[in-house]
Structures are given as C-alpha cells and as structure tokens.
Structure 1
Amino acid sequence: MMNLEIFGVADDPQSDVDAIVGLVAAVQEAQQNEQVEAFLSLFRKADPVWTTGHGKRLSGWETIHDFTAQVLPGSTQYGTAAYTPVRILFIRPDVAAVNVHQVPLTPDGTPADGPEGRPFYILAKEEGLWKIAAAQNTQVFENL
C-alpha cells in the first residue's frame, strides 16, 4: 500500500480519514462487483459531476445513474482495477479533495497491462457521510 498524505484540517481527523479511505474501497468494491446501486449510493444526490477516464462528462445523479446502469454490468469481463487513496486535502472540514492511484487488474485480480488511472474526487460531508460531489478519472500516459 502507498503512503497516504493528509493535509488540511478535518472535524475528526482519524474518523474522517477512515471514512474517506472506506469510500474509495467502496468505489472499488462496487466497480469490481458491477454493483450499480452501490456505486451510485456513493454520490451526493444534488448535482454531482463525474468525468470518465475517456473524457465523458456526466452531470446530475440521474445521468450518472443511467450511464452506470448501461456500462457497469458486464464491464469486468476483461478486467477491473484496484483503487488506493494516496492524498487527502481537507479544503474545509466538510470538503475534501482526494487523489487515487488506480491499477488495472485482470478478471482474476492479478496486475494487468494497460494504462493506470488517477481518479480525483471532490467529496462533501453531508449529514455525517462523505459523498462524491465531483470526480475526474484520467488515464496515465508515461510518454507525455
């Protein structure tokens, strides 16, 4: 596991960090198990934005839901990914920016060839729960 860098001030530093690490693990779990509703439960309902690794911007919970319901089932046939949070910046105690290291895996869970990803999440704490407010996934191209 990579070292997790933490910056800024949280309301309850250890609890908030644990919850954010748990949210990233829940993203991985939902993706690896093709769980559409579990994945969508990680987003805030009010105006979330998700930009896919291929640059498709999805605005609004319903739009993200419809896209995810279309592409997530069956998506692990050729592989999946592991997600590791590497940096958390508490912008405010209830807003955090999270850098994630995403490594491609084969369907059996071994490392796969292919570009890594660098998801970036903006999380908002609402009613005591961290939710994805905005996210961007970017593929890594080493030669750039």
Structure 2
Amino acid sequence: MDIQVFGANGGQQADVDAIVQLVAEVERAQQNELPTEFMSLFRKQDPVWTTAHGKRLSGWDNISEFTHKVLPGAMRQSTARYEVVRVLFVRPDVAVVNVHQRPVTLDGEPIDSQPEGRPLYVLSKEDGRWFIAAAQNTQVHAG
C-alpha cells in the first residue's frame, strides 16, 4: 500500500522514511516483547498513550510502568504487523501518522477472527529524530 503524505514540509522523503522506520521499531519492540526498546521511541516530556482498550496513560513513567508490566508475555499466541498508511506533517517537526495494525500468528499468518488496530501517532522531531508524543489505538471489528 502506498503511503499518503500531506502537509507542512511537503513530505520530505527522509522524514517519511524515518517515520516508517520508527513504526517498524514499534512493531519490532512489540513482537519481541522489548519494553525498554519500546519506551525509547517515546519523547521523555509528557507523552500520552491510549490503548486499544481505552486505558489512557500519561507521562513517560506511567507508560513505562504499564509497558513493562503488560508487554512481556503479551505475544505468546499472536502478534501484529504495522503498516504506515498516511502521514500528515502539521509542521516540519510534528507529524500525525495513521497505521494499519493487522493481527497475525507467530508465523506471520493473518488472524481474521481478531480485531485489527488503527493506531494514530502524533510524532515530534527532536534533535533530528522522531519520537512518539501521543498515541491512540482503536480496535476495528470486522462485520
């Protein structure tokens, strides 16, 4: 699927590539149950995370505590693939990213019986690197 790119900086390809890489790192950290690596993707100052089940977490320490509690063991039976579908550059250093999150078996086969996710990430570029400033995941049930 092609990524739709809109907004303030005209979609500099280097930034789009870096954002796709950040989302790939989210996927890798989730699939491999690596909470420390996952948390390295968040900005330190006041991030916000809302899970697919509606749990709102505010602040790096709060998100980290939750992640270190729930991520280990979370991928025993299945995991997910992440695909960036849309990037809106609000400013050259702020991007809103839509992601398609598809549940898959540990062998990578799609699981049609589980809801998909539609994460929305607000990213900030700090010292030349993109970080998650805020995120909201929404489950999408087929049917």
Q: Secondary structure at the match of 2:42?
A: coil
Residue 117 of structure 2: aligned partner: 117
What is the TM-score normalised by the length of structure 1? 0.95
Residue 18 of structure 1: aligned partner: 17
Percent of paired sites with the same residue: 62
What is the TM-score normalised by the length of structure 2? 0.96
Q: Are the aligned partners of 2:5 and 2:11 in contact in 1 as well (CA < 8 Å)?
A: no
Q: Are the aligned partners of 1:10 and 1:16 in contact in 2 as well (CA < 8 Å)?
A: no
Q: Are the aligned partners of 2:11 and 2:89 in contact in 1 as well (CA < 8 Å)?
A: no
Gapped runs of 5+ residues in structure 1? Answer: none
2:67 paired with 1:68: yes
Residue 132 of structure 1: aligned partner: 132
For residue 141 of structure 1, report the CA deviation from its aligned partner.
Answer: 2.5
Instruction: Report the count of equivalent residues.
Output: 142
Which region of structure 1 is more displaced relative to structure 2, 64-73 or 6-15?
Answer: 6-15
Gapped runs of 5+ residues in structure 2? Answer: none
Which is richer in strand? 2
Distance 1:37 1:107 in 2: 21
Deviations 1:109-134 (A, max 9, x none): 21113111000000000111000000
The runs of 4+ residues in structure 1 deviating greater than 4 Å are none
Letter in 1 for 2:46: D
Residue 49 of structure 2: aligned partner: 50
For residue 10 of structure 1, report the CA deviation from its aligned partner.
Answer: 2.5
Which region of structure 1 is more displaced relative to structure 2, 35-44 or 106-115?
Answer: 106-115
Letter in 2 for 1:102: Q
Residue 7 of structure 1: aligned partner: 6
Distance 1:142 1:35 in 2: 29
Q: Secondary structure at the match of 2:75?
A: helix
Deviations 1:8-28 (A, max 9, x none): 132870110000000000000
Question: After superposition, where does 1:30-41 map in structure 2 within 5 Å?
Answer: 30-41=29-40
Q: Secondary structure at the match of 2:65?
A: helix
Q: Are the aligned partners of 1:34 and 1:76 in contact in 2 as well (CA < 8 Å)?
A: yes
